[in-house]
Amino acid sequence: MPRNAFYAQSGGVTAVINASAAGVIETARKHRKHIGKVYAGRNGIIGALTEDLIDTSKESPAAIRQLRETPGGAFGSARYKLKSIEKNRREYERLVEVFKAHDIGYFFLNGGNDSADTCLKVSQLAEKTGYPLTAVHVPKTVDNDLPITDCCPGFGSVAKYVATSMLEAGFDVESMAKTSTKVFIMEVMGRHAGWITAAMGLAQSKPGTAPHILLFPEIPFDEEAFLAAVKRNVDQYGYCAVGVSEGLHDKDGKFLAESGLKDAFGHSQLGGVAPMLANLVQSKLKLKQHWAVADYLQRAARHIASKADLEQSYAVGRAAVELAVKGMNSVMPTIVRTSSKPYRWKIGVAKLSDVANVERKMPRDFITADGFHITQKCRNYLQPLIAGEAYPPFENGLPKYVRLKNVPVRKKTEQKTKEK
């Protein structure tokens, strides 16, 4: 007898997480012998705890197909990490209660590091509570910091966005530098790992073009060396474009974005390492500067998604279902690179216990000796991940993104856990 599946989006969303959702749902629809309906959690795993389930069978094949073209999380995502069973047994009992009420036999969590840990804990339900469940993690994170997999679905698209943006802004600044801005600083995501910052480096096609300097969270900020490098580039090329990670910190591990700035009320200013550095450049070097903070624009930019990334995002969704129906519990499909030139990849499998809570930072040999740029080795790794365009359809000048009906499943349990 087929059992139902539960699918939830988890953590920060991406331009292509919905492609993974499409991969899960469309593949499940092909495995009617094993999988009945796919219920999605409204706002991620919180939807499971509150029994707020969405019946994806109410969505047309066309709507599910359009998920490939739509950024954000179509069912709502959540930042919510389960504690261990020992520490919060009640939460797991509630999960089992809801799963049992809706005959959930398959659990798919679509997320990054924290989510992999949550998925691992859910995968232990069968063993620890006797409730039979197959849990598979669907990898997704713009941070590209999951271990084992060659890259993380979601990263390639943000990489393509930031590299394109840096390339374009570089053309702008270069053409104005004679009488206007000399230093441009662009801040991107990546609190602990510099992958997104590194991707900006792909924009540099020859020495002297943007970006001239990259500042990684892996390399403690050295103010003197930074200012000297900025000055050197402005002297030599007339301008200097800097890409910086939001997670840039000093040698004591203190985030730059958290230090110093106070608002009119005396509160520390929130975020913004780019304006911080711009101010430094202005006050120490007396050079005109501009800065950009892409923030959510970068991870929502479906209009400039990477085709490779989109295909991989779909593929891990499909593979997760295929693994689950084979009875593989507590695993995660991975991307295995079989060749860089030409780029070839296939799907592999990792044990969740090897994935959860492991953070993959940039290898030191992906960063140049001076700490300010990427090496050729890094380029070889990154380049294929941004390859190919996959434009969404447009209507009246804007991308045409889908909003699902998100029909709720009738509740069957008495609500025991309050909404988080």
Cβ nearer to a second copy, comparing 239 with 366: 239
φ/ψ bin of 72: left (φ > 0), alpha (ψ from -120 to 50), beta (otherwise):
left
Q: How many CA atoms does the CB half-sphere of 64 hold within 13 Å? A: 21
Q: How far is the CB of 108 from a second copy (least distance, A)?
A: 17
Using CB under 8 A as the binding rule, whether residue 203 contacts a second copy is answered as: yes
Asked whether the beta carbons of 36 and 30 are under 8 A apart, the reply is no
Using CB under 8 A as the binding rule, whether residue 72 contacts a second copy is answered as: yes
Using CB under 8 A as the binding rule, whether residue 407 contacts a second copy is answered as: no
Cβ nearer to a second copy, comparing 271 with 408: 271
The residue from 23, 71, 153, 201 that contacts a second copy (CB under 8 A) is 71
Using CB under 8 A as the binding rule, whether residue 174 contacts a second copy is answered as: yes
CA 304 to chain centre: 15
The residue from 30, 61, 79, 405 that contacts a second copy (CB under 8 A) is 79
Cβ nearer to a second copy, comparing 339 with 396: 396
Q: How many residues bind a second copy (CB under 8 A)?
A: 89
Pairing type for strands 104-111 and 134-139 reads: parallel
Q: What is the DSSP string of 135-193?
A: EEEEE--TT---SSSSS-TTHHHHHHHHHHHHHHHHHHHHHHTTTS--EEEEEE--SS-
The residue from 130, 253, 342, 397 that contacts a second copy (CB under 8 A) is 397
Cis peptide leading into 342, omega within 30 of 0? yes
| C-alpha span between 123 and 10 (Å, rounded) | 16
Catalytic position from the list 143, 150, 235, 250: 143
Asked whether the beta carbons of 248 and 194 are under 8 A apart, the reply is no
Cβ nearer to a second copy, comparing 130 with 397: 397
Using CB under 8 A as the binding rule, whether residue 306 contacts a second copy is answered as: yes
Q: How far is the CB of 353 from a second copy (least distance, A)?
A: 26
Task: Look up residue 369 and give its two tokens.
Answer: 């000796």
Q: How far is the CB of 103 from a second copy (least distance, A)?
A: 26
The residue from 61, 171, 236, 405 that contacts a second copy (CB under 8 A) is 171
Cis peptide leading into 211, omega within 30 of 0? yes
DSSP class of 43: T
Q: Where in 14-53 is the site for a second copy (CB under 8 A)? A: 15, 43-44, 46
Asked whether the beta carbons of 148 and 355 are under 8 A apart, the reply is yes
Cβ nearer to a second copy, comparing 78 with 219: 78
Q: Pseudo-torsion of CA 130, 131, 135, 141, nearest 10°?
A: -100
CA 74 to chain centre: 15
Residue 55: active-site member:
no
Q: How far is the CB of 389 from a second copy (least distance, A)?
A: 6
The residue from 118, 165, 245, 329 that contacts a second copy (CB under 8 A) is 165
Q: Where in 227-286 is the site for a second copy (CB under 8 A)? A: 259-265, 267, 269-272, 274-276, 278-279, 282-283
Using CB under 8 A as the binding rule, whether residue 292 contacts a second copy is answered as: yes
Closest to 289 measured CA to CA, from 158, 206, 371, 187: 187
| C-alpha span between 399 and 16 (Å, rounded) | 14
| C-alpha span between 173 and 59 (Å, rounded) | 47
**Hey, is 112 helix, strand or coil?**
coil
Q: How far is the CB of 261 from a second copy (least distance, A)?
A: 6
The residue from 16, 74, 133, 214 that contacts a second copy (CB under 8 A) is 74
Stretch that binds a second copy, among 100-108, 181-189, 328-336, 370-378 (CB under 8 A): 181-189
Stretch that binds a second copy, among 20-28, 67-75, 122-130, 407-415 (CB under 8 A): 67-75
The residue from 186, 188, 196, 409 that contacts a second copy (CB under 8 A) is 186
- Which residues have a catalytic role annotated? 143
